[in-house]
Amino acid sequence: MLAENLQTWREQLLREGRVERGRETAQNLITLTEMDDSLIAKATGLSVEDVSKLRAAVRH
């Protein structure tokens, strides 16, 4: 039971880390390139909606 909980917790942390890294990469691509949201989404694994939200946040 404890080992299963630790494994689940570890997997969740890894997923969260990948999502955060994807966001950081998307922000860099938005700032440094003229790539569209769809292409950035494909490159980072984020949704187009998430990339659009990041783009709006970067502009402000």
Q: At what angle do helices 48-59 and 2-32 cross, to 10 degrees?
A: 60
For the chain, what is the domain count?
1
Residue 53: pLDDT band (50, 70, 90) is very high
> In which domain, by residue range, is 43 found?
2-59
Matching residue, tokens 């039971």: 1
Of 6-10, 40-44, 53-57, give the lowest mean pLDDT range.
6-10
Query: What would the pLDDT profile of 6-32 be if each residue is shown by its tens digit?
Result: 889 889 989 999 999 999 999 999 999
Q: Average pLDDT, whole number, for the chain?
A: 93
- Rounded to an integer, the average pLDDT of 25-43 is 97
